[in-house]
């Protein structure tokens, strides 16, 4: 992957993104690369794909490895030690991971974790504006 998608604490986007449906993969892609490529434009694209996923929702399954990686990324330790923009970025990626894990079942989208995701995207946008 290019420098727009650096590893985060040993985790690579390619460890799981290919298992996600198109719209959901794009949500994670734009969260992952936002501070490294297009900043706020990427966060806006993330929100656009989140909106589009509402109308094109599909159930999906994840391998044990992808579930493990997303679980690690969604944990507090993933973003707890970071500061400033890096913390906001990691929190955003963590929120996407949590939402993906909670939404994959037959019930579909988890709206509570989606609200947390939108709040974390907003926090990242503010961080990017001030950096």
Query: By the 8 A CB rule, do 69 and 78 touch?
Result: no
Determine the 3-state secondary structure of 48 from DSSP: helix
Q: Greater confidence, 78 or 20?
A: 20
**pLDDT at residue 116 is higher than 80:** yes
CA distance 68 to 27: 19
| Tens-digit pLDDT profile for residues 82-94 | 778 998 999 999 9
pLDDT category at 97 given cuts 50, 70, 90 is very high
Q: Could you read off the pLDDT of 11-23 as tens digits, one per residue?
A: 999 999 999 999 9
Residue 64 in this model has a pLDDT that exceeds 90: yes
Q: What is the pLDDT averaged over residues 70-99?
A: 86
In the predicted model, is pLDDT for residue 111 greater than 90? no
Tell me the C-alpha distance between 64 and 83, whole Å: 30
């Amino acid at each position: 992957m290019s420098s727009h998608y650096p590893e985060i604490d040993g985790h690579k986007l390619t460890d799981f993104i290919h298992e996600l449906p198109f719209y959901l993969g794009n949500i994670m892609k734009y969260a992952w690369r936002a501070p490294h490529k297009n900043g706020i434009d990427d966060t806006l694209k993330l929100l656009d794909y989140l909106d589009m996923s509402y109308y094109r929702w599909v159930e999906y399954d994840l391998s044990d490895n992808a579930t493990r990686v997303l679980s690690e990324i969604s944990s507090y330790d993933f973003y707890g030690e970071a500061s400033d923009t890096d913390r906001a970025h990691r929190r955003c990626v963590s929120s996407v991971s949590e939402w993906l894990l909670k939404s994959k079942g037959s019930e579909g989208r988890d709206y509570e974790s989606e609200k947390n995701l939108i709040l974390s995207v907003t926090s990242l946008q503010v961080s990017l504006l001030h950096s």
